[in-house]
Amino acid sequence: MKPSFSFLIIFIFFFAISCKKDNVKTNQQSCNTCDSTSSGGDLTLGVLSIEDSNWTRQTDGTFKSDITASILQAGGTVKQVYSIEIVSAGILYQIYPSHQVNLMGGIFSSSINSYYNNEICTITYHYSDQNSHFGQLPNGGQLPFRIIELRILISE
């Protein structure tokens, strides 16, 4: 009885992951001329491309997306994340580490947080205050986009 229960749990886990709408592309280009590590050696970076559509409302005008599963699905780990960039109209806007960008009527930022032994990578979008009109947000408070394209550099 116990092996069939374990099989059922594993099946549900993989089924839940496969239902995710995000699109992940792995680009194995390396950056051998990027910043060097503290030991003086070169840092080699791989590139992951993710189309993120998994946004949840936190408060009025604030939305958050957890991209941890997308990074893992693409073959990387959160510990390997070197930087995160939004791709918009062919321009790269860096939002991690410690960057914010004003784009699409709001502010994008990203963070990596540790919970026990797990690290979680999230992206936050917040409408800028200048876009509210007497407390009303544009688009009825909905996101001004459906999908956001991300370029994630990971250390290899």
pLDDT band per the 50, 70, 90 thresholds, residue 71: very high
Q: Dig out the tokens for 2 from the structure.
A: 């116990």
Q: Please report the pLDDT score of residue 136 as a whole number.
A: 66
DSSP 43: P
First to last CA, the chain: 42
Q: Dig out the tokens for 113 from the structure.
A: 């947080």
H/E run at residue 156: none
Q: How many whole angstroms from its chain centre is CA 115?
A: 17
Residues 6+ apart with CB under 8 A from 156: 30, 44, 45, 46, 80
| Residue that wins the pLDDT comparison between 77 and 141 | 77
DSSP letters spanning 44-108 = PEEEEEEEE--EEEEETTEEEEE-HHHHHHTT--GGGEEEEEEEETTEEEEEETT-EEEETTEEE
CA triplet 38, 28, 72: central angle to 5 degrees?
A: 80
45 pairs with which residues across the strands? Answer: 31, 155
What distance in Å separates the CA atoms of residue 22 and residue 101, rounded to the nearest whole number?
22
pLDDT at 74 over 50: yes
Taking only the tens place, the pLDDT of each residue in 21-49 is 455 554 444 444 444 444 455 778 999 99
| Residue that wins the pLDDT comparison between 59 and 132 | 59
pTM of the model: 0.70
Question: Which pairing describes strands 118-127 and 148-155: parallel, antiparallel, or unpaired?
Answer: unpaired
pLDDT at 12 over 90: no
Q: Please report the pLDDT score of residue 132 as a whole number.
A: 59
Q: Average pLDDT, whole number, for the chain?
A: 78
